[in-house]
Amino acid sequence: MVMDGLTIFGMASVITMLIAYALEDKSHWWIFVFAITCIASSIYGWMAGTIPFGIIEIVWAVVAFNRWQKRRKGKHINNPAL
């Protein structure tokens, strides 16, 4: 199986997103990494022609950035979903 650059970019984005999501409780910086990888996945979605995927990933990035700011400012309540 031969993968092109776009597929490798998308795969790297999603794998990094999964790792960052799994480590979010360790540091607020992992939430930041998750948000950045959501943007990368959105770019992949747009470039691959999967517009709904691109839109959803941008929404996730906004949610993650909001969570990162709250956690960074110490507003984290013992709920990883915040």
Report pTM. 0.83
Q: Does residue 1 carry a pLDDT above 70?
A: no
How high is the pLDDT of residue 74?
A: 82
To the nearest 10 degrees (0 to 180), the angle between helices 28-48 and 51-72 is 170
Residue extents of the structural domains in the chain: 21-72
What are the pLDDT digits (tens) for 17-53? Answer: 999 999 999 999 999 999 999 999 999 999 999 999 9
Q: Does residue 79 carry a pLDDT above 60?
A: no
What's the gap between Cα 53 and its chain centre? 12
